[in-house]
Amino acid sequence: MADDGQVRRLIGAAAIAVALGLAAPSAAQLPLSSPKWSELSPQERQVLAPLAPEWDGLDAQRKSKWRGIAQRYSRMPPDDQQRAQQQMRPWSQLSPQERAAARERYKSLRDLPPDRKDEVRQRWEQYRNLPPERRREFADRAPPPGQKIPAPGMRPPPGERGPGR
Amino acid sequence: MSREEEIGKAVKAYLDEGTAEMRSGVAYRLQQARAAALARVAEPASASEGLLQHAHGLAGLGGSAKGPRGERPFLLQPRVWLGILLLAAAMFGYQQWTAWQELEELEDLDAQILTSDLPIDAYVDRGFQQWLTTGKFED
B139, B79: one domain: yes
B54, B25: one domain: yes
B97 part of a folded domain:
yes
Tell me the per-residue pLDDT of A1-50, one tens digit each, with 9 for 90 and over: 556 777 777 888 788 877 777 776 554 577 888 999 999 999 999 999 99
CB contact under 8 A, B103 and A61: yes
What total of structural domains would you count in chain B?
A: 2
B85, B135: one domain: yes
ipTM for the complex?
Answer: 0.75
CB contact under 8 A, B87 and A127: no
B51, B79: one domain: no
Which of B49, B84, B105 would you mutate first to test chain A, the one with the most A CBs within 10 A?
A: B84
B16 part of a folded domain:
yes
Report how far residue B117's alpha carbon sits from residue A69's, in angstroms, rounded to the nearest whole number: 17
CA angle B105, B106, B110 (to 5 degrees): 120
B81, B136: one domain: yes
Burial A88-110 (b: 16+ CB within 10 A, else e): beebbeeeeeebebbbebbebbe
B44, B88: one domain: no
Which pLDDT score is estimated for A31?
A: 80
**Model confidence band, residue B70 (pLDDT cutoffs 50, 70, 90):** low
- Residue B120's domain spans which residues? 75-139
Can you give the length of chain A in residues?
A: 165
Report, as an integer, the average pLDDT of B94-121: 92
Which pLDDT score is estimated for A88?
A: 95
Name the residue among B97, B100, B105 with its Cα closest to residue A106: B105
Residue A66 has pLDDT above 50, yes or no: yes
CB contact under 8 A, B126 and A142: yes
Residue A60 has pLDDT above 50, yes or no: yes
B50, B2: one domain: yes
Cβ partners under 8 Å of residue B68, min gap 6: B45, B46, B48, B49
B7 part of a folded domain:
yes
B33 part of a folded domain:
yes
Tell me the per-residue pLDDT of A126-158, one tens digit each, with 9 for 90 and over: 998 989 888 888 888 877 666 655 555 444 444
Which of A71, A127, A154, A160 would you mutate first to test chain B, the one with the most B CBs within 10 A?
A: A127
Whether residue A107 contacts residue A100, with contact meaning beta carbons closer than 8 Å, is answered with no
B138 part of a folded domain:
yes
B102 part of a folded domain:
yes
A28 CB neighbours in chain B (<8 A) are 99
B85, B138: one domain: yes
B99 part of a folded domain:
yes
B18, B48: one domain: yes
Domain regions of chain A by residue span = 35-93, 95-149
Name the residue among B79, B68, B27 with its Cα closest to residue A9: B79
